[in-house]
Every structure is written in structure tokens, then in C-alpha cells.
Amino acid sequence: MKKAIFPGSFDPITLGHFDIIERGAKLFDELIIAIGINAEKKYMFSLDQRKQFIQACFEKNTNIKVVTYSGLTIDFCQKNDVRYILRGLRNPADFEFEKAIAHTNRHLSSIETVFLLTAARTSYISSSIVRDVIRNNGDYTKLVPKSVRI
Ligand code: ADP
């Protein structure tokens, strides 16, 4: 069974993540959306809220699971028999950043990273822009799935 993990902070999940997850779920038998816990990061949404937003989006998709994890993504993969990491690419900055992580992961393990190019219509969306819109009382609903409501 081909299992992949889509790791991220998802603070909050956006239409960009949603697009990558929907398309990624068609490529693998199981796609695990893994919310990373980083004690040093300050989040706008609690871990529970972030998890609930994602679960509500994909409750009908039987091959999509949502989990939380801490530590290295490759350690999570090895413990859970996951051989692929799925990541989305929006622009050259994402590519440079992701390239270094993917090379490191390949050096430390045999886990492959699979990249999907973002859909053109969501390529400009990031969780940090969504948080800015929320902080300034803008209409964030155009940038996130319907399950994200504050
Ligand atoms: P991180 O904390 O790892 O940056 P994010 O939640 O921001 O986590 O992103 C997780 C993954 O989703 C990354 O692979 C990122 O490139 C991808 N991603 C984020 N926004 C978009 C978007 N608008 N379109 C496609 N992929 C995206």
C-alpha cells in the first residue's frame, strides 16, 4: 500500500493546501495530513482547531487521515511505514527551500519527496497572508475551505 504524508503547520488550512491534498489523495492509497507540533512557533489557531478544520474538509474521503506529530518528519514516516512525503510548490522560493529539505531527508533516509505544482488559481495563497487578512478583519473566507470559520 502506497502511503504518503503531507506535513505542514496548516495555520490555517488554505485553498492552496486543499488543492494539493485533493490531487495528492488520487496518487496514493492513503494520504496522511500531518500537523507538525513545534513548541517554538506561535500559532494563530490551536492544534485542536487546526485539526478540526482539516477533518471537517475531508470527512467523506476515506483515504485521507489527519494526525499530529512532533519531531522529524522522516522519523514519523519510518515509524508509520510511510515512504513518500508530499509537498506543494508555489514559486522559486518554495523550490529552493523544499530542495534543501528533500535532499537532507534523502540523505538521512530512503524516503522520497513528491512535489505537486500548485494550481494557478491558488498559487498566491499562504497561511501567513490568510492570518494577516484575519487580523485586519478582511474577508478571509475567499482564501480558505468552508470549514475554516472563526
Ligand atoms: P510549513 O509550516 O511547512 O511551511 P504550510 O502549512 O505553510 O507548512 O505548508 C505545507 C505545505 O503546503 C508545503 O508543501 C507548502 O509548500 C504547501 N502549500 C502552502 N500553500 C500552498 C498553496 N497556496 N498552494 C500549494 N501548496 C501550498
Q: Does 24 contact ligand 1 (Cβ within 6 A)?
A: no
Q: Which whole number is the average pLDDT over 59-71?
A: 97
* Ligand 1 mean position, distance from CA 49 (Å): 18
| pLDDT the model gives residue 150 | 84
Write out pLDDT tens, residues 124-140: 999 999 999 999 999 99
**Chain centre to alpha carbon of residue 93:** 17
Q: Does 125 contact ligand 1 (Cβ within 6 A)?
A: yes
Give the number of the atom of ligand 1 that is nearest the alpha carbon of residue 122.
Answer: 23
Domains along the sequence of the chain with CATH = 3-144 (3.40.50.620)
Whether omega for the bond prior to residue 145 falls within 30 degrees of 0, making it cis, is no
| Burial class, 49, CB count within 10 angstroms (exposed 0-12 / middle 13-18 / buried 19+) | middle
Q: Does 118 contact ligand 1 (Cβ within 6 A)?
A: yes
Residues 6+ apart with CB under 8 A from 81: 3
Write out pLDDT tens, residues 73-113: 999 999 999 999 999 999 999 999 999 999 999 999 999 99
